[in-house]
Every structure is written in C-alpha cells, then in structure tokens.
C-alpha cells in the first residue's frame, strides 16, 4: 500500500527559535530580520556557525564555517550564543502539534520530524494537511517550517529541502525526473563531501547520472552504500517512520580545549569532567555500558581513538573513569591535544544486569555515591558539584587557563 509521508523541517531552527524566544521575552528586535548567526565562543575555540538568518545566508555564510570567516564576509554580523534549553522547548512544541495529526511522528533530529499520515488522512489530501500544519506552526508557535510531501521518507526529506523558507513541496514518483534529477549529486541525502568527488570522477555529476548509473559498478566500488545511493537517486526507500522511543545506542561527550594540552595530567583532568557528565547521563537513562572508548584530536586535526570491552556492565563513574584513564594513557604520544572525548557503547538496561562475580561491596558503595551526586546535580544544577573523594580533583572543563 502506498504510504503518505510528511517531512517537517524548521527553517534556520536555532536562530528562529532564539528569535521567537527573545520576542516573547520583551525584545523588540527580531534577529531573523538582520544578518545574524548562532555560534560558539571563539576564544574557547568553539567558534563555528551553527545557524544563520536568511540575510546572513545572502553574504555567503555557511553552517559549520569559522566565525572569523563569517565576520570577514559580513563585518556587521550579530553573533548569538547557543541555548539548547530553548531549542528543546520549541522542538517539543512542534512535536506536540504534529501529534494532533498522527501518532506516528518520528523525531529525526531536534528540528526535523517525519509524520506517517497513511492511516490518518480521513479523506483529505496530504498536501492540504501539509499546508494546514505549516499555517498552524507559523500562527501558534511563531516560526516557519518547510514541509516535504511524498510517498516515502527519502522523497519527503528531499522535497522539504527545495526552495526555502516557509514552503510546502511535493515529490511524487512522477515528479522525480523534473524536480530531483537535475540537482547536483551532492544534494542527495547521504552523499557527503567524501563521496561526492568519487562520484564526480566516475562522471556522475547529477542525481540523474547516479540514478541511471550501473548498479553493480556502484556496489563494487561502494559496497552496501552503493546500492543505497542508487536506490535513493531513483526515489526508492522502504524505511518506516520510527515513532516509538528508541534507546540511544551510545552516549558520549567531547570538548575542544581553549588551548592545546601538552601533558597527560591535564588530559586526565578534562577526561574526568567529561566522564562525570557522560556517566551522569547514562544513569539518567537507566542504562549501563560494556564498551568504553576515548578520543584525542591533535592540534593538527589527527584523530586517535582507543576502546575496550569489559566483561561486565557498569555505569559507575569511578569504574568507567579508571578504564578511560588507562586508555588515554596508552593513546597519548605527546602531541599537542585540542580535543578530548569519551563515549560509552553496547548499552543495556540497568535491570537486565547480571549479578557478576565482580560485584562486591565497593561496587555497591560506588553506586550509592553516584546516586547521591546525581541527586544533588538534579536539585541544584549540574555545575554545583564535582567529585573529589578518592579521585583526582576535577576542574570545570570550561575553565579558561
């Protein structure tokens, strides 16, 4: 049976949401109407563009580029700090609005949703519902969206990326040759900056070229991904809208430090703070992990990683930090380090935990300590407590030094 799918994409999400928030809180200036961007703190080397207003876009400013280069393109540009609390709030509002139309809503990212309307049309046309949603979001929530209307997720997503902002586009099968095929192949979902030059060398420059290319040659060169790419170019996608909550498969935190680090003690300090945050989140999710990995990035942007599988599951800060510390010590070779990261994988539910022979009184004690620390963080905010006790003194990871 043919499916009826919408893809709802918030226009310039971070910037629009901050604009709406500011207006709601009494500010007169709508930052969507000036050259403005959302970005990090340059002094701490977190300086890239996360979102831009349409006027900023007109200066050629691109998401992901350094702030200094954005300023070069537009010296009067206004830069605002990111505020994830606000983003989450508006993201939830959008999600709740969409639930009025179908319970089959997939939160694809903080600013994108898929909606499976197949069973919920009630005799209406999909495109009419799309226009209604678009209007309601604008009137009730104060920001605009693009909506893609199609018979599968891939085509709905491609459609929502056509002309912006505040538009509804269809991309039905018969429209593929006219609307999608003329686009450069780099516009196709999943064709990134590494794949694009490889395709270009094969004389595949447009999505049409890819759609008409020899499938077996693509599979030979790109493996499984070659098949997927070819199918996408031909508008084929059988993926379901995943509307149920999915537990995360990994949790991690990383940070770019404000100055390159040249000694292991400093690395360990930052690593501890990151570990505390990651394990806190892991416990909040009611999960444990069996794989721990650490990542280092050098000042020359070389990445190294090390991981280890444990033969028991844990979410204890002390346990995980012990392993992470060993890993980072094995990894560190003296190069100046600009980024440190930790990640935990192979997650499983806390309740499913096997009582292992490693479980002893110390483990119980650690679990209790973690719980106390977590509850203080919940009550007074995350920054209020850092653990000392039997671990190295933790310092704020954002400390400027």
Partner DNA sequence: TCTGGGGTCCTAGGACCC
Q: Where does this chain bind DNA (CB under 7 A)?
A: 40, 42-43, 45-48, 50, 63-64, 66, 68, 108-112, 189-196, 223-225, 248-256, 281, 291, 293, 300-301, 303-309, 339, 341, 343
Nearer to DNA, 64 or 123 (CB): 64
Per DSSP, the three-state class of 146 is strand
- Residue 240 gets which letter from DSSP? P
Give the 3-state secondary structure of residue 184.
strand
Task: Please say which residue, 120 or 395, places its beta carbon nearer to DNA.
Answer: 395
CA distance 369 to 392: 16
Q: Is 152 helix (H, G, I), strand (E, B) or coil?
A: coil
**Edge-to-edge order in the sheet of strand 168-170:** 105-109, 112-116, 5-10, 145-150, 168-170
Determine contact, residues 68/61, Cβ cutoff 8 Å: no
**Two structure tokens written together for 128:** 């009419």
Whose Cβ is closer to DNA: residue 220's or residue 368's?
A: 220
| Closest approach of DNA to the CB of residue 398, in Å | 9
Smallest gap, in angstroms, from Cβ of residue 353 to DNA? 17
Name the strand (E) or helix (H) holding 93: helix 84-99
DSSP designation for 394: P
CB of 16 to DNA, least distance (A): 13
Distance from first CA to last CA of the chain, Å, rounded? 61
Q: How far is the CB of 237 from DNA (least distance, A)?
A: 14
> Least distance from C-beta 15 to DNA, angstroms?
13
The two three-digit tokens of residue 147, written as one number: 């909506």
Nearer to DNA, 26 or 64 (CB): 64
Beta-bridge partner residues of 145 = 10
Contact 151, 4 (CB under 8 A): yes
Question: How many CB atoms neighbour CB 247 within 10 A?
Answer: 10
**Are the beta carbons of 129 and 172 closer than 8 angstroms?**
no
- Is residue 240 part of the annotated active site? The answer reads no
Catalytic residue among 4, 65, 106, 112: 112
CA–CA dist 21, 247 (Å, integer): 30
Q: Which is nearer to DNA, 40 or 142 (CB)?
A: 40
| DSSP three-state, residue 124 | coil
Contact 373, 283 (CB under 8 A): no
In the complex, the smallest distance separating the C-beta of residue 351 from DNA, rounded to whole angstroms, is: 20
Active-site residue list: 112
């Amino acid at each position: 049976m043919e499916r009826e799918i919408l893809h709802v994409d918030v226009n310039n999400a971070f910037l629009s949401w901050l604009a709406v928030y500011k207006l709601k809180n009494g500010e007169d200036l709508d930052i969507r109407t000036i050259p403005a961007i959302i970005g990090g703190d340059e002094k701490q080397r977190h300086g890239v563009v996360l979102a831009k207003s349409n006027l900023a876009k007109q200066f050629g400013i691109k998401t992901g580029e350094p702030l200094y280069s954005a300023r070069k393109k537009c010296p009067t540009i206004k830069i605002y700090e990111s505020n994830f609390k606000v983003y989450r709030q508006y993201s939830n509002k959008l999600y709740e609005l969409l639930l009025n139309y179908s319970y089959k809503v997939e939160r694809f990212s903080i600013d994108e949703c898929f909606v499976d309307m197949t069973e919920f049309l009630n005799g209406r046309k999909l495109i009419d519902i799309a226009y209604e949603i678009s209007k309601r979001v604008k009137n009730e929530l104060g920001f605009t969206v693009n909506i893609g209307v199609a018979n599968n997720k891939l085509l709905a997503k491609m459609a929502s990326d056509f002309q912006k902002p505040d538009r509804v586009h269809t991309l039905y099968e018969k429209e593929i040759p006219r609307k999608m095929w003329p686009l450069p192949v780099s516009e196709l979902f999943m064709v990134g900056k590494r794949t694009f030059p490889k395709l270009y060398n094969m004389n595949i420059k447009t999505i049409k070229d890819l759609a008409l290319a020899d499938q077996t040659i693509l599979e030979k060169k790109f493996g499984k991904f070659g098949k997927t790419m070819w199918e996408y170019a031909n508008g084929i996608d059988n993926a379901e809208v995943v509307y149920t909550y999915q537990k995360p498969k990994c949790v991690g935190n990383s940070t770019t430090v404000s100055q390159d680090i040249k000694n292991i003690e400093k690395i360990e300090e930052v690593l501890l703070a990151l570990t505390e945050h990651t394990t806190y989140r892991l416990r909040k999710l009611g999960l444990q992990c069996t794989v721990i990995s650490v990542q280092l990035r050098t000042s020359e942007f070389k990445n190294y990683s090390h991981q280890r599988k444990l033969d028991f599951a844990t979410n204890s800060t002390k346990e995980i930090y012990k392993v992470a510390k060993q890993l980072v010590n094995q990894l560190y070779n003296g190069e100046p380090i600009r980024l440190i990261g930790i990640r935990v994988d192979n997650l499983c539910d806390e309740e499913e935990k096997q009582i292992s022979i490693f479980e002893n009184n110390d483990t119980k004690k650690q679990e209790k300590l973690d719980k106390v620390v977590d509850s203080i963080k919940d009550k007074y905010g995350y920054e209020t407590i850092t653990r000392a006790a039997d671990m190295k003194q933790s310092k704020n990871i954002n400390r400027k030094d």
